[in-house]
Structure 1
């Protein structure tokens, strides 16, 4: 960058040279000859400086900038400083890139850089170990050609960047990977794969423990509930002072049975793979039955339960699991909606998929709790949940049912106004639909 303008000195020199030429012309009378000589000298001087500039630019770093004075000297000096700063900037950038690559290479997670078309351009050492990528054979190859997995192909095609994908390592048997896609830059994405084998093993141990304990509790709880039921029918009638304790025993035994049943259901959903032999389920008919059951559950509370179902809309799935998911949503709506409140159930489809919606005019949920509602035993208000008899597992069951049906659960709620729970099923699971 020029620190000062060279034009004043240029015009001063040109004026002085022109004055000398005019003096010589006045003395000799050769006006035309001296003017031509002056213009020729100026032209040759600038042409020579221009050739020096071209040679310097062409040879680049191999030669020092030309030495000159006046306007050309200032120009050469400014360009030299700009070139030096550019060289220093490039060196810093190269250093940053080297540091970035060194840090990425040291990461324990497999990191793969994907450019336009999801072609592999770079990966770290962990990607060699966990994904089996080889340099330079796999460079510029499409990632799904290197890792043959229908789940990964679908995951990348849809560009999921929120939910991770669980994948078995293609080169290390028994190794489970958690894969994520992180978009960045322009048409670029990072594929990050983390070894979660140990975590999965611990999670499996936890699920097995819960399942085994629940199975062991099921039989004694059945006995306790049966005895409490018999005592309520016979002993409480004969001994009125025992009526309240026996009723309390009966209620708590029933609550424990419900909790164990939910735990067993959740354990089965977590451990069992989705059945390949899924059949078309008429969800509209299923919801009609569940709404009738919910009206009976509401009883004297007189909730207004309405159903709008698209006729002929069926999806492939497990009827028992779908029944459990919708039943939990409806029972929650009845449980947390004040007497006389409105509960609206909808079942419809569009070009993107099918949707089941349960809306209520209940007490609502504060926004800070919504992201944790599907956690096991999570309570927004423990006192309120105990009073209504919930187990804290209903929405966890709904979430796992939706995962097994390739769907998602969306929750919207406003305190004191109501809540909306939407089950979103992808288009590919629809087995039949009405013409619209």
Structure 2
């Protein structure tokens, strides 16, 4: 009986040991599964820094280490993707043009703030993933973009609106990596080129106008010189008259070239030396220069300075030219017996200078154009009084260099008021 009892006891001991081991393993496994469920919930909530903390050995320990390594790899990958996305977003935001990236179905993949403004987005901040027809509220741009969706060709197009705004649309296809045939979308570059177009047109107009303005006196000078050369026995009175015309046209050429050089100097700020300028002293100097012209036309010249000691930091020659252009213009276009007044006062920390005349006035339709180069309301009259067509353009550039503004109030036949506003402190 003893061997049987011994065997029975051994079996019972072995069974109890196995049961205890199974129980402990079950507890360990349950605890591991509970930890795994908690960690998986954190991961599903984008807490990718979470890790399994377990002392398990064997297969569970290996599973824990593999899971933690996988989570670390995933966290690093996501961090790298987020960093690259942040870089891409920062680049897109810093681009001054509108950038729109579409797939081949016209769905928006990427868009920057400038593009949102230009296309007048219907759902600001939620464009990605939506079709352009749901987003773009700018019919002209939508129509042009739709033409090139899925196109394999690079193309560009200028769109001019009724309000003179000009947009340039550049479309570039996006190919699948290492493929020259598979198109996966398009990049749309939308640029507002209104100012560029205006400047180009101004350049063309300026060249054309300068050529015309130079050609007229040169033709006149050349013609009279040839007449004098070919007619040696010309009467003295006629010769003197021709020479007087040549002198007049030469002086006109000189004034024109000087004005062009001055305008260029102001625009480029060449060797600009500034100092504290007393406006009243400059005005008195200009009055002495133009006084005889006003006297010859019996024009009353007057001024009213609120503060004769007021000074601004500026270039003295520019301030003199500003006063000279405005007052000289007022005298030129005021008939005999008229009146020209200059007022100065300070309002809201700004210096206001008014030049008022009771002359011929300016038609309403011309008032927005008179500061353009070579623009003349009455070309024949302007030339007869010796104008180059650049005086007001120069004046406007001088005022702009002082961070100020200039405007005109005028009524045809009743006179004009030019108003210059300059900040008291010019940075």
Scaled by the length of structure 1, the TM-score of the pair is 0.48
Scaled by the length of structure 2, the TM-score of the pair is 0.48
Rg larger in 1 or in 2?
Answer: 2
